[in-house]
């Protein structure tokens, strides 16, 4: 570890293998909190490379709970968080809409860290269990087309990193890589990030991780979700080729709303918003979900354009299919809790 820290102090980049080895030492509790903090700050000060981020992610995935089945054509639509918008749980709501459109969604997420309510908080409020065994999660994915992967459960060795991250009180690369660390073998990914300067970097990391197709976006107002407030920056990765696009809600038939219209609250309030959207209540929250789900459906190759993806998202909600996906997950969670009591 000393050699890695010396390289970072000299402003030298680590290789992917070196970074993976360093993070492996963290997970195996071979180094101190001070060394972990020095590693985080060293990367931040130098500026993280694609290879370094990919090395961190691969180490985290290797130390996660194992999933044995290769389920084809899976997507995740997790954002990095940290945008300070206090929005309701947009990507979580959108995930059910995407699943209702026939896409298999391995939804990775966590409790609230920088926002008021995380995906895990709102799903737990709705009755979804966060600690389902990996075999049951795979079964649900195959049967229902959507399951939730609670980050602290699927990454049981992450405690040391989380402790130092909280102690530092400043953002490092570990604040942004959560969406990259989904332990399932994904073919597609929709990743929102609140930093427009990192779009190309994260697209290149997703390419290194083997995604067939991905969209990395930065929403209007620096959100980590697509926003109705104005221009959204998209980097589209398709079989290793990157292209860029600016997407305005009016380009796809949606109205413009200021981001104040999608502010959420605590877990109970956000659960109510999620249910309202899935039950068809119209307004800024629904249209924001349509935009994000439409991009997700496009990312998964189930629509040729985002506009077509939005049409499929509308059908998913109006047919009741999106709500059925949530109800199935709640029912399975209830059955699991009864079985273990």
Instruction: Write out the binding residues for 5-phospho-alpha-D-ribose 1-diphosphate.
Output: 79, 82-83, 87, 89-92, 107-115, 119
- The count of C-alpha atoms lying within 13 angstroms of the C-alpha of 5, restricted to the half-sphere facing its C-beta, is 13
Instruction: Write out the binding residues.
Output: 79, 82-83, 87, 89-92, 107-115, 119, 165, 224-225
Which residues, 6 or more positions from 211, have their beta carbon under 8 angstroms from its beta carbon?
186, 187, 188, 189, 237
Of 235, 218, 239, 208, give the one whose Cα is nearest residue 56: 208
Task: Kindly tell me the sign of the dihedral angle through the C-alpha atoms of 225, 263, 123, 330.
Answer: negative
Instruction: Write out the binding residues for anthranilate.
Output: 79, 110, 165
Instruction: Write out the binding residues for Mg(2+).
Output: 91, 224-225
Task: Kindly tell me the sign of the dihedral angle through the C-alpha atoms of 104, 109, 115, 117.
Answer: positive
Nearest-Å Rg of the Cα atoms of the chain is 19
First to last CA, the chain: 45
β-sheet with 104-109: strand ranges across: 146-150, 104-109, 74-76, 188-192, 213-218, 232-238, 241-247
Burial class of residue 34 in the structure, from the number of CB atoms within 10 Å of its CB (0-12 exposed, 13-18 middle, 19+ buried): exposed
């Amino acid at each position: 570890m000393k050699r890695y820290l010396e390289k970072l102090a000299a402003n030298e980049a680590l290789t992917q293998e070196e970074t993976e080895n360093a993070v492996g030492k963290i997970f195996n509790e071979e180094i101190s909190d001070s060394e972990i903090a020095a590693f985080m700050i060293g990367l931040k000060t130098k500026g993280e490379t694609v290879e370094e981020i990919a090395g961190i992610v691969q180490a985290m995935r290797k130390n996660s709970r194992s999933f044995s089945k290769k389920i084809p054509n899976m997507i995740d639509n997790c954002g990095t968080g940290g945008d300070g918008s206090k929005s309701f749980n947009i990507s979580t709501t959108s995930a059910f809409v995407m699943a209702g459109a026939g896409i298999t969604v391995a939804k990775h997420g966590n409790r609230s860290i920088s926002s008021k309510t995380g995906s895990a908080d709102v799903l737990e409020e709705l009755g979804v269990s966060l600690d389902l065994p990996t075999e049951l999660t795979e079964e649900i994915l195959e049967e229902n087309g959507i399951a939730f992967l609670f980050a602290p459960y699927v990454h049981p060795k992450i405690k040391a990193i989380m402790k130092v991250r909280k102690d530092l009180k400043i953002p490092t690369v570990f604040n942004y890589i959560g969406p990259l660390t989904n332990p399932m073998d994904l073919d597609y990914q929709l990743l929102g990030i609140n930093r427009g300067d990192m779009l190309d970097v994260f697209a290149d990391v997703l390419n290194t991780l083997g995604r067939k197709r991905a969209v990395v976006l930065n929403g209007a107002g620096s959100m980590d979700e697509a926003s109705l407030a104005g221009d959204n920056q998209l980097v589209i990765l398709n079989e290793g080729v990157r292209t860029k696009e600016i997407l305005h809600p009016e380009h796809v038939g949606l109205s413009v709303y200021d981001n104040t219209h999608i502010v959420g609250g605590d877990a109970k309030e956000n659960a109510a918003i999620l249910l309202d959207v899935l039950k068809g209540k119209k307004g800024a929250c629904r249209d924001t979900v349509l935009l994000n789900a439409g991009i997700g459906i496009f990312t998964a190759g189930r629509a040729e354009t985002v506009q077509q993806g939005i049409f499929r998202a509308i059908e998913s909600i109006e047919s009741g299919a999106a709500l059925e996906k949530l109800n199935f997950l709640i029912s399975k969670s209830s059955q699991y809790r009864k079985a273990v009591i």
